[in-house]
Amino acid sequence: MDTKVINLYNENDNNYIEDCASIIKEGGTVAFPTETVYGLGANALNGEAVNKIFIAKGRPSDNPLIVHVASIEDARKLVIEITKEALLLMELFWPGPLTIILEKSNIIPVEVSAGLNTVAIRMPAHSIALNLIKAAGLPIAAPSANISGRPSPTKGEHVVEDLLGRIDAIIIGDDCKVGVESTVIDMTGNVPTILRPGGVTKEQLEEVLGEVAVDPAIDKGINLEEAPKSPGMKYTHYAPKADVVIIKGSKGSVIKKIKEMIFENRQLGKEVGVLCFEDTSLEYLNVIVKSLGKRDELEVIASNIFNLLREFDKTKVDIIIAEAVDERHIGQAIMNRLVKAAGYKVIYAKDNT
């Protein structure tokens, strides 16, 4: 398949947007930037078009998709009812990195909802994404624009690496500012429940809603027989080619443990990469070191994480040893992505005391 690659960056060329909107309306697939990660879009009301997303990504078809809209009125057509609490979230956090799950209307095809009676909806905070949705005149189903299981794309070059020749068009814009996917919150139960942490934090949601639960599957995943209620709950996600292991503990104990693991792995003839913070980046010698940034600048770390995992793929490392991130605020989303990239391999470093 020939893939049309369009460089827009911060410019909104209406002709190119209209061309890509036509591809969507005709049942094709278009990758486009959002504030979270790049998305791979198709007509959310056309099951055959949506299937092309699964084929291009190699994504399991029981993994539900997020539907992107350009207004709250667009969302009303896709659900049975927008509850008072859901409407409040839309008014406060849309456009932005918050996906809201509600009971779906009968116009949502089974390919989008993966057989569930719910649909996940969000309004992206990116001019290219919004202009594309408006020009298409229909909702766009869009997971991340990468091969399934790979680190999510936060740069146009990541999309080209994964999907050139697999989809109809790629719109390359600016780098994604948030850097991790949207928060997914289920508003269909008695207590609003976070199914995936993301760009809107639990603390922010609690300020608006009061009690907010967190699905236990965020930390441990679900078994292969269960149907995922949200993207990112069931299958391997965000993984680079090398094995990843995360080290938790005090700063000193983490440094000590990583140095021990570097020695052990090098003795086995393995090339080692270390993903750490700016203040510890000089601690690790004779390995490939990539810095997430300052440990207290969580928004910067979020915008860096997927790109750094992809950068390791350009090296010959066999294992990536990562320092754990503070799980406050957006740090919860960062650690969620890291833990999934590591296949839940987390080591707790012991203090010397």
Q: Are residues 343 and 287 in the same domain?
A: yes
- Average of per-residue pLDDT across 155-176: 97
Q: Are residues 141 and 258 in the same domain?
A: no
Contacts of 73 (CB under 8 A, 6+ apart): none
Name the residue among 261, 232, 227, 252 with its Cα closest to residue 338.
Answer: 232
Local confidence band at 305 (pLDDT 50, 70, 90 cut-offs)? very high
Residue 82 placed within a domain: yes
Flag the least confident range among 68-77, 215-224, 236-245.
Answer: 215-224
pLDDT of residue 237: 72
pTM for this prediction: 0.92
Q: Are residues 199 and 252 in the same domain?
A: no
Local confidence band at 224 (pLDDT 50, 70, 90 cut-offs)? very low
Residue 14 has pLDDT above 80, yes or no: no
Residue 136 placed within a domain: yes
Residue 236 placed within a domain: no
List beta partners, residue 42.
Answer: 141
Secondary structure (3-state) at 6 = strand
- Average of per-residue pLDDT across 30-57: 97
pLDDT of residue 160: 97
pLDDT of residue 233: 56
Domain's final residue, options 220, 254, 279: 220
Local confidence band at 222 (pLDDT 50, 70, 90 cut-offs)? very low
Known binding-site residues equal 36, 59, 63, 68, 118, 122, 142, 144, 152, 182, 196, 238
- 27: domain CATH number is 3.90.870.10
Amino acid at 109: P
pLDDT of residue 55: 96
Q: What φ, ψ does residue 121 adopt, rounded to 5°?
A: -130, 140
Residue 129 placed within a domain: yes
- Average of per-residue pLDDT across 334-341: 95
Contact 11, 74 (CB under 8 A): no
Known binding-site residues for L-threonine equal 36, 68, 122, 142, 182
Residue 148 placed within a domain: yes
pLDDT of residue 226: 52
Contacts of 60 (CB under 8 A, 6+ apart): 54, 148, 234, 235
Residue 34 placed within a domain: yes
Domain's final residue, options 220, 251, 277: 220
Q: Are residues 112 and 257 in the same domain?
A: no
Residue 25 placed within a domain: yes
Pairing of β 183-186 and β 193-196: antiparallel
Q: Are residues 150 and 204 in the same domain?
A: yes
Name the residue among 324, 319, 187 with its Cα closest to residue 250.
Answer: 324
Q: Are residues 51 and 194 in the same domain?
A: yes
Secondary structure (3-state) at 118 = strand
Q: How many CB atoms lie within 10 A of CB 351?
A: 9
Q: Are residues 191 and 297 in the same domain?
A: no
Contact 213, 191 (CB under 8 A): yes
Q: Which tokens in the block code for residue 272? A: 């080692």
Domain span including residue 325: 243-348
- 341: domain CATH number is 3.40.50.11030
Q: Are residues 137 and 264 in the same domain?
A: no
Contact 42, 54 (CB under 8 A): no
Q: Are residues 281 and 171 in the same domain?
A: no
Give the end-to-end CA distance of the chain in Å, rounded to a whole number. 60
Domain's final residue, options 187, 220, 253: 220
Number of domains in the chain: 2
pLDDT of residue 147: 95
Q: Are residues 271 and 341 in the same domain?
A: yes
Cα 30 to Cα 22: distance, rounded to the nearest angstrom: 10
Residue 233 placed within a domain: no
Known binding-site residues for ATP equal 59, 63, 118, 144, 152, 196, 238
Cα 83 to Cα 86: distance, rounded to the nearest angstrom: 5
Q: What φ, ψ does residue 328 adopt, rounded to 5°?
A: -80, 150
Q: Are residues 265 and 157 in the same domain?
A: no
Q: Are residues 188 and 265 in the same domain?
A: no
What does pLDDT average to over the chain? 93
